Structure 1
Amino acid sequence: MPMASPARIASLLASHGYNASREAVTLLAGTDDPEQALVLAVEATPDDELVLTADHVNAALADRRATERPAGPSESEDAPHDTDPHDPSVSTGTNPAESSTDGGDVPVETRGSNSVSRDQSKQSISVAQDITGQSTGTGEYDDFVTVFRDRYEKLAGQLRGRVQHRPTTSLQSSQGGGEAGLVGMVNDIRSTASGHWLIELEDTNGVFPCLVMKDRPIADLVDELLLDEVIAVEGGLSDDGSIMFVDAIHFPEVPRTYSPNTADRHVQAALISDIHVGSDEFLEDAWHRFAQWLHTDEAEHVEYLLIAGDMVEGVGVYPNQDEELSIVDIYDQYEQFCEHLKEVPGDMEILLIPGNHDAVRLAEPQPGFDEELRDIMSAHDARIHGNPALVDVEGVKILMYHGVSLDEVIAELPEEKASYDEPHKAMYQLLKKRHVAPQFGGKTRVAPEEEDYLVMEEVPDVFHTGHVHKLGWGKYRRVIAVNSGCWQAQTDFQKSVNIDPDAGFAPILDLDTLSMTVRSFN
């Protein structure tokens, strides 16, 4: 029977150890007997060719040769088995599992161990929320009012059950005294002459001042506050009703009762980011070792590859970047990235979101790539979505966010609560605030839309980021937070800003247990 699905053809190619160009797949899909045509094309392709092309298909159909040549065994050496199958609660700085593949015989798409077979019929992946194709913002003042009002309403809805909320207009008209609660957006934070903290909270009606005394236990929480985040406070009103003395601060938070979801079978996902193809410092050999390992028996359960942005190095992202580029044209960078993506097994599901080096708008939320770039990155029919994206992988909710706001969190908060050496702690703060980029007007550009796509309306089971080029992972109230490092060695620019990257790592997540192993390919 004719096979209409290119994915099915790619799966059959896997059994023969071949990759095919998009044109070749189209030709095969259009024949009366695609399976027989595929066998003919494989036979017609020279042994030293890595990609089955349209010319090979046309020649095979003309010659009518039907002898099947079975693929040879993989020449790659399997990576060693992990000595500890359990997921540590936080990253410890110890050496992750090493891969012993040498990258000398680079696999392309489906090359590798033919004993590896992934059952695509059981694979399930979908995206719950994505800005792509939904952007309506024009940059007008009213657009900003709309997005911040939406943020307030979404997060206030999570907080109103914890305090006896009274609108600012009600507090302002109060005679004073008595207990009160308020849910508001942080409008300002400043210290008084006596060293206390004055926080201005804004709701949809107005602004009200709230005083946190420096000797109260909650004073430490003020260090965690960012402008524009939504919190709730409880306390007592002054006698004249002009100010609230705060006794408690509440964040939207991950509920302590939250129970994560897991997959119904043993299946794994590789979580990576920041490939930076086109950079002089792109770790091409490490990428080859990673892709080759995905073809080994040890990786047979790795059925998903989730990439959290910065597929390419980009052009003009930072001063004098052109001096550090191996590929100076942005479209050529994506062409080369697609070639590297073809090394990944064809029966894996791949999902991509953009980052700040990618050729999309910098303001978040970022839509997925335009049609021209999607056509370039066509390998394996990879799924392309916006940044951030809430991805459902066999029932496990994975929030993918590139992570530009981590710079903001790390800059604003004390080092013990957020640092580049432990990026997962900065991610904990975003989980606590239930927003991936709370502060407006700083390092993170925010686009005004009809709704705030950056709010974490649902609690994710896994929070996956990149951007800071540091490896770190841990659990916050049973939510796994992982920053997956990068595939780029230290650049001169990174040296100038004191960034020492963790490069060539691939966190591998068990979706049925939510345990994680980090492998090194550098």
Structure 2
Amino acid sequence: MPLETPARIVSELTSRGYNADREAVTLLARAADPDSALDAAVERAPEDALKLSSDHVESVLADLEPGRKASASTGYDNGNESGKESTSAEETKGDDDVGEAVADVSRPDESIRDPDLDARSVEITGNVTGESTGTGEYDDFVSVFQDRFKRLSKQLRSRVNARPTSVVGEMPGGGETAIVGMISDIRSTASGHWLIELEDTSGTYPCLVMKDREFADTVDELLLDEIIAVEGTLSDDNGDGDGILFVDSLYFPDVPRTYQPSTADRHVQAALISDVHVGSQEFMGDAWSRFADWLHTPEAENVEYLLIAGDMVEGVGVYPNQDEELDIVDLYEQYEQFSEYLKEVPGDLEIVMIPGNHDAVRLAEPQPGFDEELRDIMSVHDARISGNPSTVTLEGVDILMYHGVSLDEVIAELPDEKASYDEPHKAMYQLLKKRHVAPQFGGKTRLAPEEKDYLVMNSVPDVFHTGHVHKLGWGKYHNVLAVNSGCWQAQTDFQKSVNIDPDSGFAPILDLDTLDMTVRQFS
């Protein structure tokens, strides 16, 4: 069994009657062949020694790996070009009231990591991996929409006294009522008002939002297939088949304004990144290595978790003429190279990864995690692999990880002031308001029918982490921290053609005990 993870190395040493310095464990974890290195270190240990020192392991590795050169951070040269200082980052990304400004990072001087492994807690829920049952039949689509309606309407019915549309259609005119429904159509009238068709399990009903209502601009935020509630007054001719509901109030499932997030009981941090894109000619390997080196420094000693929200590799055939922009043309070799880069981060990190639209999984969401062959390739540091989306609970803090393909749709459909690529966190606010990560079916986002809708936010997350759009942005919506973490890929020719200017080489660092955040730049 591979011994890359320090915890497993410590366990193996203990089973053989030995302990080791922290630095000695790190050296063994980063060896070219950790199994052989551990065997040799134990075999050559002094007879009266119960604890292996870093000097002893260093001398063993020098014999096993001729030409090996020590580095300042770990005593092991990983061959990275990490001596360059980073450039300063603009302090204009995200909301000013969240966390700290973007910080510069330079070459680390030494390694000092002593994580409390017993204090860690990682739980993953909402994972479709191994649970996918959809076959694409009509009944599958009915099931997923019925499940969506059932769960989101339950959240809304606690706020309005809703009636089924079939009952509303038979009520006398002039009365007041409420409807919870899925939006099946939105259109403007000749007078500039808005007509919204709401559908529930008993039928559909037309609802009219007058243009002079104070909430009329909210209609700009609506997407087909999302669930909302309305209250209003029935037209006088209701009951004869031509009635309509004049809307007085409109509600989203939303995050309660009184929501208070959970926090960890100790000072511990998580790095939230996405869109690494190994295999692209524009992958920023030097920036990644600076990030990995920084994780070995005293400044990063409290970073114990690394969450990667999709697109580990560039993939093959994702967009037209992509092969012209590939540095590695074989998909499996891309994942093998990604695994090599992952080895650069400290072996004691808890790593959680979900796939994205460039990864070798199905494009339709929810996306199951990687197959066994790819999991074996990416088994470095015992990384946990889950589906897209998934909720990862770190020491009591719920982090909803979603790659973010639906952000393209939200940004395309909504006005710029409510959703844009320059401020991706605002598009994330819309998903939080709708309590669904991909509400609109049949648009830019491919959705797979399942027995239940894995894309519903059944509970409110403490942190919402996405990627995909290659833009850095963060802010708080009703006390929920929304973070889009940028990417590790410089601008490609394809991105130039669609006017995407990426934010590359950034790593948001989240304090799990306060939910404050610092964004560090490594490019």
TM-score by length of 2: 0.87
Instruction: Please say if residues 6 and 26 of structure 1, whose CA atoms lie closer than 8 Å, have aligned partners that are also in contact.
Output: no
Task: Please state if 1:15 is matched with 2:27.
Answer: no
Q: Distance in 2 between matches of 1:504 and 1:486?
A: 6
CA shift in 2, pair 1:7/1:20, >3 Å? closer
Q: What is the aligned partner in structure 1 of residue 137 from structure 2?
A: 140
Contact 1:179 1:237 in 2 (8 A): yes
Distance change (3 Å), C-alpha of 1:505 and 1:371: same
Q: Are the structure 2 counterparts of residues 208 and 380 from structure 1 closer, same or farther at C-alpha, using a change threshold of 3 Å? A: same
Confirm or deny: 8 A CA contact 1:254 1:431 kept in the other structure.
yes
- How far, CA to CA, are the matches of 1:404 and 1:436 in structure 2? 9
Rounded to whole Å, the distance in 2 between the matches of 1:361 and 1:302 is 32
Q: 1:90–1:473: 8 Å Cα contact kept in structure 2? A: no
- Asked if residue 213 in structure 1 is aligned to residue 210 in structure 2, the reply is yes
* TM-aligned CA distance change 1:418 to 1:15, over 3 Å: same
Query: Which residue matches 2:521?
Result: 520
Report 1:88-167 matches (<5 A). Answer: 89-90=95-96, 96-101=102-107, 113-167=110-164
State the AA in 2 paired with 1:163.
V
Question: Distance between the aligned counterparts of 2:408 and 2:60, measured in 1?
Answer: 53
Deviation at 1:418, TM superposition (A): 0.2
Please give the alpha-carbon distance, in whole angstroms, between the structure 1 residues aligned to 2:77 and 2:39. Answer: 31
Q: Which deviates the most, 17-26 or 302-311?
A: 17-26
Q: Deviations over 1:475-496 (max 9, x none)?
A: 0000000100000000000000
Change (3 A) 1:22 1:502: same
Structure 2 distance, partners of 1:482, 1:122, is 25
The residue number in structure 2 matching 1:507 is 508
Tell me, yes or no, if the aligned pair for 1:73 and 1:113 is still in contact at 8 Å.
no
- Are the structure 2 counterparts of residues 384 and 51 from structure 1 closer, same or farther at C-alpha, using a change threshold of 3 Å? farther
Within a 5 Å distance, the mapping from 1:401-420 to structure 2 comes to 401-420=402-421
RMSD over aligned Cα atoms = 3.2
Q: SS state of the match for residue 232, structure 1? A: strand
Q: Offset at 1:287? A: 0.3
In the alignment, which residue of structure 2 is the partner of 1:108?
A: none
Distance 1:489-1:303 versus aligned 2 partners, 3 A rule: same
Is 1:185 the counterpart of 2:211? The answer is no
- What is the SS of the residue equivalent to 1:115? coil
Q: Which residue of 1 aligns with 2:430?
A: 429
The question of 1:461 aligning with 2:462 is answered: yes
In structure 2, the gaps of 5 or more residues are: 11-19
Quick one: distance in 1 between partners of 2:21 and 2:449? Answer: 45
Matches of 1:172 and 1:136, distance apart in 2: 37
Structure 2: distance between partners of 1:281 and 1:77: 20
User: Is residue 195 of structure 2 the alignment partner of residue 198 of structure 1?
Assistant: yes
Partner of 2:61: 45
1:260 corresponding residue in structure 2? 261
Structure 1 contact 363–445 (Cα < 8 Å) conserved: yes
For the structure 1 residues 419 and 34, does the alpha-carbon distance in structure 2 shift closer, same or farther, using more than 3 Å as the test? farther
Structure 2 distance, partners of 1:478, 1:226, is: 24
CA shift, 1:114, in A, is 3.7
Alpha-carbon separation, structure 2, partners of 1:116 and 1:218: 53
| Partner of residue 14, structure 2 | none
- The residue number in structure 1 matching 2:373 is 372
* 2:236 counterpart of 1:239: yes
Distance 1:35 1:129 in 2: 48
Provide the rounded CA distance (Å) in 1 between the counterparts of 2:195 and 2:43. 71
Q: What is the Cα deviation at residue 28 of structure 1?
A: 7.8
Indicate the residue corresponding to 2:341 in structure 1. Answer: 340
Q: Whole-Å Cα distance in 1 between the matches of residues 305 and 497 of structure 2? A: 36
In 1, Cα distance between the equivalents of 2:36 and 2:305? 27
Does the 8 Å CA contact 2:4/2:381 hold for their aligned counterparts? Answer: no
C-alpha distance in 2, partners of 1:195/1:479? 35
Q: Residues 270-289 of structure 1 correspond to what in structure 2 (within 5 A)?
A: 270-289=271-290
Residue 252 of structure 2 aligns with which residue?
251
Q: What is the aligned length?
A: 489
Cα pair distance change 1:230/1:30, threshold 3 Å: farther
Q: Is the 8 A contact 2:179 2:231 kept in 1?
A: yes
Aligned partners of 2:29 and 2:347 also within 8 Å: no
Distance 1:47 1:519, change over 3 A: farther
Q: Is the 8 A contact 1:396 1:511 kept in 2?
A: yes
Matched residues in 2 for 1:233 and 1:121: separation?
A: 49
Q: For residues 22 and 151 of structure 1, what CA distance do their matches in structure 2 show?
A: 49
Distance in 2, Cα, partners of 1:285 & 1:253: 41
Q: Deviations over 1:287-337 (max 9, x none)?
A: 010000000000000110000000000000000000000000000000000
Aligned to 1:105: none
8 Å Cα contact 1:79-1:293 kept in structure 2: no
Q: CA deviation at 1:173?
A: 1.7
SS at match of 1:173: coil
Partner of 1:174: 171
1:268-297 deviation digits (Å, cap 9, x = unpaired): 000000000000000010001000000000
Q: In the alignment, which residue of structure 2 is the partner of 1:448?
A: 449
Separation in structure 2 between the aligned mates of residue 156 and residue 246 of structure 1, nearest angstrom: 18
1:44 CA displacement: 3.2
**Once the 2 structures are TM-superposed, how far is the Cα of residue 441 of structure 1 from its aligned partner?**
0.4
The offset of 1:217, in angstroms, is 1.0
Correspondence for 1:269: 270
- Quote the Cα distance in structure 1 between the aligned partners of 2:281 and 2:59: 38
Aligned partner letter, 1:44: V
Query: 1:257 Cα shift?
Result: 1.4
Which region of structure 1 is more displaced relative to structure 2, 451-460 or 114-123? 114-123
SS of 1:443's partner is coil
Distance change (3 Å), C-alpha of 1:285 and 1:5:
closer
Answer yes or no: is 1:230 the counterpart of 2:221.
Answer: no
1:57 paired residue number = none
